[in-house]
Amino acid sequence: MFLQRVYHRLSLFPSLTPRIPLSSSTAHKFGCTRVYSKPLKSHKISCSSSLSAMGAEDRGGGPNGSVSSPGSLEVDFEDNLGGYRLPPPEIRDIVDAPPLPALSFSPLRDKILFLKRRALPPLAELAKPEEKLAGIRINGGCNTRSRMSFYTGISIHNLTDDGTLGPEKEIYGFPDGAKINFVCWSRDGRHLSFTIRFDEENSSDSGKLKVWVADVETGEARPLFQSPDIYVNAVFDNFVWVSDSTLLVCTVPTSRGDPPKKPLVPPGPKIQSNEQKNVVQVRTFQDLLKDEYDADLFDYYATSQLVLVSLDGTMKPIGPPALYTSMDPSPDRKYLLITTIHRPYSFIVPCGRFPKKTELWTTDGKFVKEICDLPLAEDIPIASNSVRKGMRSINWRPDKPSTLYWVETQDGGDAKTEVSPRDIIYMQSAESRENEEPEVLHKLDLRYGGISWCDDSLALVYESWYKTRRVRTWVISPGQKDVSPRILFDRSSEDVYSDPGSPMMRRTPAGTYVIAKFKKEDEGTHILLNGSGATPEGNIPFLDLFNINTGSKERIWESDKEKYFETVVALMSDHNEGDLYINQLKVLTSKESKTENTQYYLQSWPDKRVCQITNFPHPYPQLASLQKEMIKYQRKDGVQLTATLYTPPGYDPSRDGPRPCLFWSYPGEFKSKDAAGQVRGSPNEFAGIGSTSALLWLARGFTILSGPTIPIIGEGDEEANDRYVEQLVASAEAAVEEVIRRGVAHPNKIAVGGHSYGAFMTANLLAHAPHLFCCGIARSGAYNRTLTPFGFQNEDRTLWEATSTYVEMSPFVSANKIKQPILLIHGEEDNNSGTLTMQSDRFFNALKGHGALCRLVILPHESHGYSARESIMHVLWEMDRWLQNYAFNSSDTPSNIDASEQTEAKL
């Protein structure tokens, strides 16, 4: 595994993800090339949406339209009618636009896939039955994680030498309406593999996944298995190429019968015991096993039979049925690293902490040896950087045929234990003799964070420690014992200005990824460092040619900093074997501006010739001329803050006057004022608008202050949360004062909102800074920290260790102070460990009990992030109604707050 810098915007929707490639370890494991787009994330190109989301903007789209003038705004006061509602057309048209495709390049970089997606799914898909077991949610009908999104089609373009795309060639052969997941290239690039499922009434096959393969040259697709009764079990892993003509597939056991039936009469009481007086502290995990029936049901759905199948349909079951969580071929395809989980299970932690066994098999399924068998891990301390005891992060060296490496903790997994070394990295050949001791590769005093491999002369090892924010990069020579390790970089993770960048990776003939070495006229080992280029003026991404021996560097590429925001996405000259030369470098870059959508380009050296390979339309032309500015201002304690200010197309504050404003943010924690004041992001990035983005209200004439820095700083031995409320209010005051000073926001028409921890922020600001905001919107938040007693966010003290902090941070305790209107929205099936749905329910009752103007909206079938079209449209209607009633149409003087309360709030 290697640490790779991620350039992306997080989305409120788990199905929307970065435009970056898969990491090298993931790409190697699943035999995939890398995926580029702001769309989808998964292992492989799975188009899966089973993970929780955190919140910010991504892209949407929409037809032509215009921003509403103040006189055209309509307010629907019939708010208690039943059913789902629709927001105004200005918002609806943007959200309903078809999404852009995801991109994937072939291993030889001569072809490119366009993976087509649909717009928002209907609520009927979320309403399908799901089993909540061991911390995951399973669609029993499909035998997959529930709520998977999917692709609707695949097309291929040849990529010519001059960078232009050939004509589109559709993958064909599967029926209309097929839902496509887990798209993956074979190592030689001649075939694609993927799963297909259908929703068919009155069919036993409805929703079940089958593996298909497509010939890349002809575009013809066909089922991989000759038998129609073999289905993929994708609860954990799904399939992987073990050669250019053979796949290893997790299948539903053909002998499996009906699921176990819940007994009408329980066999006995549910008992948990701690008579050994063990210290077991766990966070508020969701969807855990409740009883033995749940455990049996988990076994039923998660058990797979591994099957080797060739492209000609020949198949061979290998190994016994088991709960296989991963299957990883060695680079030489001689061995398999097989991981399973097994009983005894737990009722207090999710399946990731269940007993876990890792074994070495030959590729044809013969057992070689057991690597480890880890016991149940209920007792991992809650402190940051605490880990599981025993072997972890077991992987293949990508530069060797079949060499394993892993790390073992020396502190018992407890970050509070002082010990040196803290972690030891080991290495051993899969063909080592019995009882042969593994080789110690490197010892670390901080927590292991991954390795970027190159060859026997070079690897980069990463370690970090959250408490101090320290990160270090070591240079080691894995095959040269006479060369001592040395520190290459030693810095604070918060100091983005000092970030040197991450090494560019190249693809090996085995399909793995290693650090790309480059030849240059002078002697020495050169690599390319791809960095975000944070500066006080915003991010200016770069590519440095770095001499690993001397530390000297040469900047060979930099983003246009005047108008555009460009990034280097991937190396494209790595498909040939042998040495790489800097004068033959070719990279994939992305380019965007405030008003121009992201496009992809090929850039070639030595003349740096640029060829545009995509021409995506503007996703919402009605907002094409919106105005965006990165603004800077200062908190009263001297901390420098930044935010992104958006104003509607054509807006002029001197002519049009101050507007209603929506303040949308998410707090962050820092160890120093200097780090908190550093600028992150670029003023030239395209204004991506996701399905529930605050930027949608630009179409309704609002000014938007997006992502204003809300730093919570704990310097030295001080914990950040001990002054949470004080610093939160100070940051908000500075931001509000700035937009009022600029004349873009009406002082009595500023609304505040946020999602998840941003909702927690919103409730606290309405409780402790009522003079700043006219109303608030809080989505999927937690409001009573005593309900998460063993830590939350980055707080690793327990309620009993920091009682006053937990209480003072909880807006639930200050519900009597909230006088401004607050809208609470929550998914009924929230699976996030810190934001149980009952948090909103109890907070609403506390508010109502004190006569607050409040409204609670619970979304059936929705989780922490919202995905169904009906739900999203209704959320937008609720938000729009709230903003029109209590911000746009609010009076020019604050209501419900008398002068004494305003004075008290400012103190």
Q: Which residues carry out catalysis?
A: 756, 830, 864
Distance CA 810, CA 802 (A): 13
Closest CA to 543 of 553, 563, 529, 533: 529
What CA–CA distance (Å, rounded) separates 405 from 445? 18
CA distance 180 to 232: 13
Amino acid (1-letter code) at residue 156: I
**Angle 757-768/724-741 helices, nearest 10 degrees?**
80
Give the DSSP letter string of 377-428.
-----SSTT---SSEEEEEE-TTSSSEEEEEEESSTT-TTS--SSSEEEEEE
Closest among 575, 523, 531 to 557, alpha carbons compared: 531
- Nearest in space to 289 (alpha carbons), one of 352, 208, 339, 358: 352
The residues pairing with 507 across neighbouring beta strands, listed in sequence order, are 513
C-alpha to C-alpha distance for 669 and 766, rounded to whole angstroms: 21
Cα distance between residue 905 and residue 275, in whole Å: 49
Integer Cα distance of 306 and 778 in angstroms: 46
- Look at residues 617, 606, 597, 587 and name the one whose alpha carbon lies nearest to residue 163: 587
Eight-class DSSP state of 22:
P
Work out the burial of residue 328: count CB atoms within 10 Å of its CB; fewer than 13 is exposed, 13-18 middle, 19 or more buried: buried
Chain-centroid distance of CA 753 in Å reads 21
The full length of the chain comes to: 907
Strand partners, 369: 360
- Pick from 198, 74, 104: which is nearest to 614 by CA? 104
Can you tell me the distance from the alpha carbon of 44 to that of 27, in angstroms, rounded to the nearest whole number?
7
CA 157, CA 792: separation in Å to the nearest integer?
Answer: 47
Distance CA 403, CA 441 (A): 12
Distance CA 696, CA 623 (A): 9
Beta bridge partners of 145: 138
Our CA dihedral for 180, 43, 295, 231, rounded to 10 degrees, sits at 30
Asked if residues 154 and 1 have their Cβ atoms less than 8 Å apart, the reply is no
Can the peptide bond before residue 667 be classed as cis, meaning omega within 30 degrees of 0? Answer: no
Q: Tokens in use for 678? A: 């550093």
3-state secondary structure string across 150-193 = CEEEEEEEEECCCCCECCCEECECCCCCCEEEEEEECCCCCEEE
Yes or no: say if 220 and 154 are a contact pair by the CB < 8 Å rule.
Answer: no
Contact between 278 and 222 (Cβ < 8 Å):
no
CB 687 within 8 A of CB 697: no
Helix (H) or strand (E) holding 319: strand 315-329
Dihedral sign (CA 804, 808, 812, 815): positive
**Residue 134 region, left (φ>0) first, then alpha (ψ -120 to 50), else beta?**
left
